[in-house]
Amino acid sequence: MKSVTILGATGSVGESAFDLLQHEGGADAFRTVALTGGRNIARLAEMARALRAELAVTAWPDLLPDLRDALAGTQTRALAGPEGLAEAAAREADWTLSAIVGAAGLAPGLRVLERGGVLALANKETLVAAGRLVTATSARTGARLLPVDSEHSAIFQLLGHEDRAAIRHISITASGGAFRDWPLERLASATVAQASCHPNWSMGQRITIDSASMFNKALEIIEAHEFFDIPAERIRVLIHPQSIVHAMASFCDGSSTAHLGVPDMRHAIGYALNWPERRALPVETLDLASIGTLTFDRPDEGRWPALRLAREVMAAGGAAGAVFNAAKEQALDDFIAGRLRFTDMAQAVQHALESAAGQGGFARSPATLDEVLDWDRAGRRAAAAWKGRA
């Protein structure tokens, strides 16, 4: 029986993973080692009961008594806080999904790699902030990283046995988010509610706003660079409003292969769950004839400065990824709280990168989690101090 752990089980990706496990037989088909969540204790306990989880963890220590109450009468042990998350990640499981949002996913994800586990990674922030550390840790322990971000799952499936030297470039697609067709001058006044509506994907609020600002795609370019060891200049972004083609690989012989599918995260999660096999999933088959038209365009970096910043981060190296991710998280917090305008986020992030460059942040890649977290804090501080704040 396959043993599984879901870090961030109560989020959008976590719910899709839970749905898949239930579909495949639930507690009779999987041994659930640990489930973690945040403030939604009722849902975490419900999932733990359904999957007969051995351990349930809330990230918030003040909610431990509530979690214990909610799990009364079950065999599930309740834990909380960073130690609880570390315990969930450290316990042996055949397959662990990291579906926590933000840099909070870093420590537990690295813990899985430390034990040489299989880590299915939805938490792109792990690779953006600590790419070199992740790669070095996996190489040392024999851990296996599997992509769950849809574009990266697509690239993974496209590259298969292909020789890396034969790749001319990789394209990942972006829907263009909520503001693709907005006139540029309107963007500054975009509200949180407007930025929180994605045209095609149903996701957590933070990644949805990151899709509108294209910071999500910026993170994904860096994620692809780190995951597949593809040079930055060979990674492209294509605006593709229908979100049917997820990625494309172009080869030296002039041919290109593309990965297509309906926008449903259960494909990428299920692919990682069953890898290296391909098994039936409760995902709709693509009907191209009824879709009719697929369109593509080049992204306008004037509209989306996040894409330019991603290129600067990859060129800089060192701790630039950690600073970039953290500054983006701070700027997003500030936008959600009404302290920054939508278009100010990129400026605050740029300021944080410049400040880190002045402190020698790009000289070498962080070699430990503590170093990554130091640069993470520096990035947040600098973004929060940006002078253009309202």
Binding site for ligand NAD (CB under 6 A): 8-14, 37-38, 59, 99-101, 104, 122-125, 149-150, 201, 203-204, 206-207, 265
Task: Please give the residue whose beta carbon sits closest to Mg ion in the complex.
Answer: 149
State the minimum distance, in angstroms, from the CB of residue 99 to ligand NAD. 5
Question: In sequence order, which residues have a C-beta less than 8 Å from that of residue 298 and are 6 or more positions away?
Answer: 238, 239
Residue closer to ligand NAD by CB (options 206, 303) is 206
Residue closer to ligand NAD by CB (options 10, 96) is 10
Task: Please give the residue whose beta carbon sits closest to ligand NAD in the complex.
Answer: 11
State the minimum distance, in angstroms, from the CB of residue 89 to Mg ion. 23
Residue closer to ligand NAD by CB (options 14, 241) is 14
| Pair of tokens at residue 75 | 């065999």
Q: Does 54 bind Mg ion (CB under 5 A)?
A: no
State the minimum distance, in angstroms, from the CB of residue 13 to Mg ion. 10
Residue bearing tokens 């998350």: 85
Binding partner of residue 328 among Mg ion, ligand NAD, none, CB cut-off 5 to 8 Å per kind? none
Q: Does 223 bind Mg ion (CB under 5 A)?
A: no
Residue closer to ligand NAD by CB (options 376, 386) is 376
Give the C-alpha separation, 228 to 217, whole Å.
16
State the minimum distance, in angstroms, from the CB of residue 104 to ligand NAD. 3
State the minimum distance, in angstroms, from the CB of residue 123 to ligand NAD. 4
Q: For Cα atoms 176, 177, 180, give the angle at the middle one, nearest 5 degrees.
A: 55
Residue closer to ligand NAD by CB (options 265, 320) is 265
Site string for Mg ion, 141-160 (x = CB under 5 A): --------xxx---------
Residue closer to ligand NAD by CB (options 59, 320) is 59
Amino acid identity at 39: R
Which chain residues interact with Mg ion by CB under 5 A? 149-151
